[in-house]
Structure formats: structure tokens, C-alpha cells
Amino acid sequence: MRQDNLRLRLRLVIQRHELPEVRIIFSCKIDNDPTVAGLLEQVNEVVPLESRDWGLEDYTVELRKENGAAFDCLHFQEVADVLSHDEEVL
């Protein structure tokens, strides 16, 4: 489902290798129809995900439902098609 506005607010839970978990509210730019891989690039600008040993391709993006179930988002999917405003993303 496409959003009428050009931003999507998400609740992100970021888990990086050997670092503490980070929880932030993140405003994702969706004006150019970014993919999930593009979302990771946007997050990387704010919270560094890449390192010498880890690249963006090493991360998964999961949509967490209220009942605790998590579903993987594929890197080629467009963000606006798979995520909705205020969803929790792990």
C-alpha cells in the first residue's frame, strides 16, 4: 500500500554484531520508491551498520507483529509495499 505522504515513520530495533541493541523512531524517505535495501542504506546514514567485517547485505529486515511473530522483508521489495506507518521493524 502506497503512502500519500513521502515519508514513513517506523519504530526500528537495530541489532548489530557485538553491539547493544538500538531502538529509534525513524522517518524513512519513500519519495523515490526505495527498496528494503534502500531502507538499510538510509538507516546506515544515521546508525552505522557497515563495518570492516559486516556489510548491509548481512542484515535482515523483519516486520514484527503485535503477537511477537516476525516476517522477513526481501531486500528487493519496495518499502511502501511491505511496511506501514508506525510498524515495528527489527
User: pLDDT digits over 5-37, tens only?
Assistant: 688 999 999 998 888 999 999 999 998 899 999
**Quick check: helix, strand or coil at residue 40?**
helix
Domain that holds residue 65: 7-89
CATH value at residue 27: 3.10.20.90
Q: How many domains does the chain have?
A: 1
pLDDT above 90: residue 85: no
| Beta-ladder partners of 9 | 27
pLDDT above 80: residue 3: no
Tell me 52's DSSP state.
Answer: S
* Whole-model pTM over 0.85: yes
Q: Hey, how many other C-beta atoms are within 10 angstroms of the C-beta on 45?
A: 8
- Asked if the structure places residue 17 within a domain, the reply is yes
| C-alpha closest to that of 62 among 38, 82, 23, 89 | 89
Tally the C-alpha atoms within 13 A of residue 64's C-alpha that lie toward its C-beta.
12
48-66 pLDDT tens trace:
999 888 899 999 999 988 8
What is the end-to-end Cα distance of the chain in Å, rounded?
A: 20
